Amino acid sequence: MPYRAPVEDYRFIFENVVDMAKVAGTERFADATPDMTDAILTELGRMAEEVLYPVQRNGDLTSAVLENGIVRTSPGYAEAFRSMAEGGWLAVSASQEHGGMGLPIAMNTAFNEMVAGTCMALGLCPLLTQGQIEALEHHASDELKEMYLPRLISGEWTGTMNLTEPGAGSDVGALKSKAEPNGDGTYSVSGQKIFITWGDHDFGGNVCHLVLARLPDGVPGTKGISLFMVPKFLPNADGSLGERNSLGVVSLEHKLGIHGSPTCVMQFDGAKGWLVGKEHKGMAAMFTMMNNARLGVGTQGVGIAEGAYQHALAYAQEREQMGTIINHADVRRMLLTMKADTFAARALVLDCSVAIDMSTATNEDQCKARAALLTPISKAFSTDVGIAVAELGVQVHGGMGFIEETGAAQFSRDVRITAIYEGTNGIQAMDLVGRKMMDGGDAAFALLDEIEAHAEQARLVLPELAEPVWQATETLREAVEWMVAQSDMNERFAGCVPFLTAFGRVLGGHYHLKAAMAEGGKGTRTKLARFYVNRLLPQFGGLLEHARAGSADLYDITNEELCA
Amino acid sequence: MPYRAPVEDYRFIFENVVDMAKVAGTERFADATPDMTDAILTELGRMAEEVLYPVQRNGDLTSAVLENGIVRTSPGYAEAFRSMAEGGWLAVSASQEHGGMGLPIAMNTAFNEMVAGTCMALGLCPLLTQGQIEALEHHASDELKEMYLPRLISGEWTGTMNLTEPGAGSDVGALKSKAEPNGDGTYSVSGQKIFITWGDHDFGGNVCHLVLARLPDGVPGTKGISLFMVPKFLPNADGSLGERNSLGVVSLEHKLGIHGSPTCVMQFDGAKGWLVGKEHKGMAAMFTMMNNARLGVGTQGVGIAEGAYQHALAYAQEREQMGTIINHADVRRMLLTMKADTFAARALVLDCSVAIDMSTATNEDQCKARAALLTPISKAFSTDVGIAVAELGVQVHGGMGFIEETGAAQFSRDVRITAIYEGTNGIQAMDLVGRKMMDGGDAAFALLDEIEAHAEQARLVLPELAEPVWQATETLREAVEWMVAQSDMNERFAGCVPFLTAFGRVLGGHYHLKAAMAEGGKGTRTKLARFYVNRLLPQFGGLLEHARAGSADLYDITNEELCA
């Protein structure tokens, strides 16, 4: 049951759902014509199918291991990584100035999805490297850019993000790592970092750590944090690898999933580092990485959903139990749920990608606000979809789903982390109702206006689909109004997770409706839209009741009563 | 973070929610007075806390292994099993005639929950043995009863269920195992069985296999299947172990969870067996096992939910991130969801237990119909709750939830099988809307009448809780009416899973309302009821829209379109 890259779905969504032509219409992305993006999608799909898919199980069965301080990666990973690098895929959206393709983020999303759908554990290495490239492009000095960007873009070197410490997870500002000036423009970085994805490997080249640490005069909390480039090997002036820096991997974590991805505890003992951006402005630089990483993680959810769907579909076509099980109503319900939600999540991450691309191309505030609004929804809704779809994939397999050899469980174990890292889905929801609604809801209302305007047009052709989408949007609008009316943030936070899910559900309805309209209300996509609107969209009602429940009941029960 | 058995919750539910006094009021269960059940709950809780909880992680870290055809179990399992047996816990509800305690099934449910909450993998051994005891009590000859029951009840021997074959899972009737008469009243049983839980172990004694196989004159399908007792060792007349039977473990499965439970591929090569029940009536006998096993599996969901809740709660009380995380609104939302749903699922399995006990005690059709109706809901809803609660437990842990050492992931991996075995949750939902509504919905309507009558009383005291429960019940009633009006079963099956979930949601509202009323609308349970009614109950609307969607859209999309 080989993986088939969803190239056709990308083409369709680009053309009919997220208006990729708008992106190609800008000067910045004038190259991204349909011919160009088609060709790239096809090549990318081939790479995922032929290079990554074959190593998907390897990493699960043979985890990365730490041997004498060196990380040995899973069989075939090094070759697959080199192959991705040689294809030039590692920095689809990085600037051409340093060797990137300079393509829209939307194309990078295609890369991230197909990589996650075929080998998510390995795919984390380029994902983290992408984030580092972006942070350096925006914040690093020219010297650092010249040294690091070409090598990260080519895949000669890879990058990591070092934020978390044992006492500083969601609360990054609590971190204790320190940096002291060496007097020569460099710094000595010390501290322990945990959960460092791809903190080391045996692919060759350098491993470049971006590390958050506090300078001696840094105030407590997030405002006293600076960002440093701390490479595993100190590069010589010509970029060749010099001496080993004072840092190392202490241990690897034993995880539920993504076994092939080495999750490292890193120790920095006065390691030599270079400041990235300004002193005490590390969080701003880190947010550059994090925002796109959040979109990237949401995209992993889509990738796993697609992989799990194809895998379950293949089983359902073969398995005979009172006839082939694909013909049983409840199995079809599961498969259609998987397919309909995967489409919704894919359209969502692409809508967010296009908003980012339009921000980059036009620098318009409206585009930025839309991108900022869609980012936490993309991250949380799409990873929730990934988890739910992978779970359904296990269920479609029946007893075989619980047996590791079938691979259904691996999707489910691998994708589980996506609801946690890069800010838990709870943090995303708090971001959505907090920071992303500091505009009084303007960005949200603009999006809802757009959805309703489309539904009003669609009503003439597909009233039975357009009307429920319009109604759901209107109910969501009331919930947004309720949210922005709460001056006490805790009132918003008390229902932010179901609120975000409902927002995703409504957006999904909008994308399905657009898809159905694009084929004139007749065809496969219309049938899928009907399934989604009749069966999945109605969840919005219960979710939005929950969203508006307020915080009183959460604190009415005391901690002692929780323990009773 | 040690496990604390939910003894107090059992006492409360017995007294206030499921009317255990009614059971104790029957002649059959006159011994089950509150004093008696209290004492047993306390002892049982102590056993789970002191004997089982300490070996919970052992089985996960050190799986059962097959060595030279012999299964070696996880460290400490044999001792823990012996300790359970010595306490007399293995057959709480088995007849006193053969050494059981003769207590209501409700007490056995307490046993099953506490065992699953502390060591589900080991707990499967007594769970399967209970089912076998029950099948033998109802269907075996006196000779077989005399030989097997006392030894199964004492735990000297253990029992298994051998149904599934590679080509016969949900479709049991497709099985190929054969039995041939030996002419001396015994049979030669041959075939391969898969997914055989606790198919072998090193606890000592005998392993007694109940095997479904077809006699030479058995017709194809379920009507030609007979049930046989096929022991690992052929017992001598005095019950001592005689020669080894021609059966063995071929291999163990590598599973997502319950690593400590050996899941065996069994091979029977002309193994000597004894008929249980009548020829070709094996399915009827097997259903005796399966019905209570379904309740038992639902109860496992509750047990894991309780274990995962306590585990996450302990973490949330200790973990500091911008204050202790238990005080964050979204963490409280998760913890309260876990607690409220665990209560609902526990009350549900106890309601079902009491219905079974009343059936046993009174033999009244109404009790039987209620038990039959509640069984698939108990199995599917409570295991869905177990899975969802364990997932939330992982999420409460943040990044640590993905690290196996914390144990949060184990709950999630272990409980996943409960939605699959003993009939997938899809099969349960089909049973609910099919077989269990062949009465035209009478049993369901009777239950809904009861819920509405209670809500009407409660309206005077707690209108803000009683009214939503009444409204949800009324919407569920309309959905039941819709279901029974569909003569084409596939129309029912097309939405049976969300229908079952909604049924469970409404029942949960009913139980919470009863709990709140029992404390006069003031106190912890009322606060929890308010959380449930305001935040979780509203899901019924979306679920019931889905439930009534019908099958047309599922088949409107062709198999080719699913693959597109």
- For residue range A168-203, list pLDDT tens digits in order: 988 999 999 999 999 999 999 999 999 999 999 999
State whether residue B541 sits within 8 Å of chain A by CB. yes
Mutate which of B162, B263, B402 to disrupt the A interface (most A C-beta within 10 Å)?
Answer: B402
Contact B402 A493 (CB under 8 A): no
User: What percentage of chain B carries pLDDT values higher than 90?
Assistant: 97
Helix A329-362 and helix A282-318, axial crossing angle in degrees, nearest 10: 150
Tell me the average pLDDT across A435-459.
Answer: 98
Nearest neighbour of B330 by CB, restricted to A405, A417, A497: A497
Q: Which residues of A touch B334 (CB under 8 A)?
A: 426
Separation in Å, CA of A392 to nearest CA in chain B: 11
Beta bridge pairs of residue B542 = none
In order, the DSSP letters of A103-170 are --HHHHHHHHHHHHHHHHHHHHHHHHHHHHHHHHHHHS-HHHHHHHHHHHHHTSSEEEEE--BTTBSS
Q: Is residue A520 pLDDT above 90, yes or no? A: yes
In terms of CA atoms, which chain B residue is nearest residue A490? Answer: B329
Query: Would you say residue B161 has pLDDT above 80?
Result: yes
User: Annotated catalytic sites of A, by residue?
Assistant: 422
Q: What is the mean pLDDT of residues A287-295?
A: 86
Q: What is the mean pLDDT of residues A513-536?
A: 98
Any A CB within 8 A of B309 CB: no
- The whole-number pLDDT of residue A112 equals 97
Give residue A330's pLDDT: 98
pLDDT exceeds cutoff 90 at A286: no
State pLDDT tens for residues B181-196.
Answer: 999 999 999 999 999 9
Most B CBs within 10 Å, among A124, A162, A332, to test the B interface: A332
ipTM: 0.97
B79 to chain A, any CB pair closer than 8 A? The answer is no
Q: Is A93 helix (H, G, I), strand (E, B) or coil?
A: coil
A282 — pLDDT class (breaks 50, 70, 90)? very high
Is B560 at the interface with chain A, CB within 8 A?
A: no
Are B181 and B127 within 8 A, CB to CB? no
Backbone angles phi, psi at B471, to 5 degrees: -65, -45
What gap in Å lies between CA A172 and CA A225, rounded to an integer? 9
Name, in order, each residue with C-beta under 8 angstroms of A228's C-beta and a sequence gap of 6 or more.
A179, A187, A189, A210, A211, A212, A213, A273, A274, A275, A276
What are A459's two structure tokens? 């009503």
Q: pLDDT-derived band of residue A425, with 50, 70 and 90 as boundaries?
A: very high
Q: Do B142 and B100 meet the contact criterion of CB atoms below 8 Å apart?
A: no
Q: Is B342 near chain A, with CB under 8 Å?
A: no
- Asked whether the beta carbons of residue A394 and residue B413 sit closer than 8 angstroms, the reply is no
pLDDT at position A372: 97
Q: How far apart are CA B352 and CA B364, in angstroms?
A: 15
Question: Mean pLDDT across the stretch A275-289?
Answer: 91
Among A412, A512, A553, the strongest candidate for a mutation testing the B interface, having the largest count of B CBs within 10 A, is A553
Closest by Cβ to B549, choosing from A395, A405, A535: A535
DSSP B459: T
CA distances from B226 to B121, B184, B185 (A): 29, 17, 14
Would you tell me which residues 251-290 of chain B have a C-beta closer than 8 angstroms to some C-beta of chain A?
A: 253-257
Residue B23, pLDDT above cutoff 90: yes
Check CB contact under 8 Å for B493 and A330: yes
Give CA–CA dist A201/A97, Å, rounded. Answer: 28
Which residues neighbour B241 within 8 Å (Cβ) at sequence distance 6 or greater? B205, B206, B233, B235
Task: Judge whether A119 and A75 are in contact, CB under 8 Å.
Answer: no
Q: What does the mean pLDDT of chain A come to?
A: 97
Q: Decide: A112 and A292 in contact? Cβ < 8 Å.
A: no
Per-residue pLDDT, B230: 98
pLDDT (mean) for A116-125: 98
In which residue are the tokens 């809801």 written? A441
Q: CB B167 to CB A553 under 8 A?
A: no
pLDDT bucket at B2, cuts 50 / 70 / 90: confident
Give CA–CA dist A528/A522, Å, rounded: 11
The tokens 């690290």 sit on which residue?
B403
Cβ atoms B385, B301 nearer than 8 A? yes
pLDDT at A168: 92
Taken in order A317, A319, A324, A328, the sign of the CA dihedral is negative
- Structure token pair of residue A415: 């994708």
Query: Chain A residue with minimal CA distance to B5?
Result: A564
Smallest CA–CA distance, residue A154 to chain B, in Å, is 31
Q: Does B148 contact chain A (CB < 8 Å)?
A: no
C-alpha to C-alpha distance for A312 and A409, rounded to whole angstroms: 11
CB contact under 8 A, A562 and B335: yes
As given in the structure block, the two tokens for residue B518 are 């029992």
Residue B329 to residue B54: CA distance in whole angstroms: 33
- Among chain A residues, the shortest Cα distance to B559 is held by A326
Which 394-453 residues of chain A touch chain B by CB within 8 A? 394-395, 398-399, 401-405, 409, 412-413, 416-417, 419-421, 424-426, 429-430
Closest CB from A8, A321, A430 relative to B170: A321
What confidence score (pLDDT) does residue A258 get?
98
A305 touching B (Cβ < 8 Å) = no
Interface membership of A500 toward B (CB under 8 Å): no
For residue A387, the chain B residue with the least C-alpha distance is: B391
Residue A30: how many other CB atoms lie within 10 Å: 12
For residue range A381-405, what is the model confidence (pLDDT) as tens digits? 999 999 999 999 999 999 999 999 9
Residue B204 reports pLDDT greater than 90? yes
With contacts defined as CB-CB under 8 Å, which chain B residues touch A476?
none
Confidence of residue A285 (pLDDT cuts 50, 70, 90): confident
- The alpha carbon of residue A63 is apart from the nearest alpha carbon of chain B, in Å, by 14
How far apart are the two ends of chain B, measured CA to CA in Å?
50
The reported pLDDT for the residue numbered A131 is 92
Per-residue pLDDT at A452: 98
Residues of chain A numbered 172-201 and touching chain B (CB < 8 Å): 174, 194-195
Query: Token pair for residue A87?
Result: 């294809």
Q: Name the residue among B505, B117, B447 with its Cα closest to residue B311.
A: B117
pLDDT band at B209 (very low <50, low <70, confident <90, very high): very high
Q: What is the mean pLDDT of residues A444-448?
A: 98
Cα–Cα dist A309/A393, whole Å: 6
State the pLDDT confidence band at A124, using cuts at 50, 70 and 90: very high
Q: Is B234 on the interface with A (CB under 8 A)?
A: no
Over residues A22-53, the pLDDT tens digits come to: 999 999 999 999 999 999 999 999 999 999 99
d(CA B409, CA A416): 10
Residue with tokens 């060496």: A182
Q: How many angstroms separate the Cα of B42 from the Cα of each of B88, B189, B224, B288?
A: 14, 44, 46, 29
- At residue B1, does pLDDT exceed 80? no
Nearest to B321 among A171, A253, A320 (CB): A171
Out of B257, B334, B399, the one facing A421 most closely (by C-beta) is B399
In which band, very low, low, confident or very high, does the pLDDT at A291 lie, cut at 50, 70 and 90? confident
- List pLDDT tens digits, range A133-145: 999 999 999 999 9
| Listed range (A29-43, A280-294, B40-54, B68-82) with the worst mean pLDDT | A280-294
Hey, what domains does chain A have and what are their CATH numbers?
Answer: 426-563 (1.20.120)
According to the model, what pLDDT value does residue A443 have? 98
H or E segment at A516? helix A496-518
- Report whether pLDDT(A288) > 80: no
Return the SS3 of B517: helix
Q: What span, in angstroms and rounded, lies between the C-alpha atoms of A299 and A304?
A: 9
Question: pTM for the full model?
Answer: 0.97
Alpha-carbon span B526 to B491, nearest angstrom: 39
What pLDDT shows up at residue A351?
Answer: 98
Q: Which H or E run contains B161?
A: strand B158-162
Summarize the confidence of residues B330-340 as an average pLDDT: 98
- Residue B287: what pLDDT? 82
Question: Of the candidates A410, A425, A200, A555, which has an alpha carbon nearest to the alpha carbon of residue B401?
Answer: A425
Bridge partners (DSSP) of residue B263 are: B197
- Torsion angle (degrees, nearest 10) of CA A214, A219, A225, A231: -20
Q: What share of chain B is helix, strand, coil (3-state, %, to 5)?
A: 60, 15, 25
- Contact check, Cβ <8 Å, A394/B403: no
Q: Which residues contact A45 (CB under 8 A, 6 or more apart)?
A: A4, A5, A6, A7, A114
Report the 10 Å Cβ neighbour count for A15: 14
Helix (H) or strand (E) run with residue B386 in it: helix B365-396
pLDDT given for residue A287 in this prediction: 82
| CB-based contact A333 B494, cutoff 8 Å | yes
- Residue B288 confidence class, pLDDT cut points 50, 70, 90: confident
Q: What percent of chain B has pLDDT over 70?
A: 100
pLDDT single digits (tens) A231-264 = 999 999 999 999 999 999 999 999 999 999 999 9
> Is residue B290 predicted with pLDDT exceeding 90?
no
Long-range Cβ contacts of B107-111 (<8 Å, 24+ apart): B107/B32, B107/B37, B107/B40, B107/B41, B108/B353, B109/B295, B109/B296, B109/B299, B109/B349, B109/B350, B109/B353, B110/B10, B110/B40, B110/B41, B110/B44, B111/B44
Catalytic residues of B: 422
In Å, how far is A461's CA from the nearest CA of chain B? 19
Cβ–Cβ of B322/A538 closer than 8 Å? no
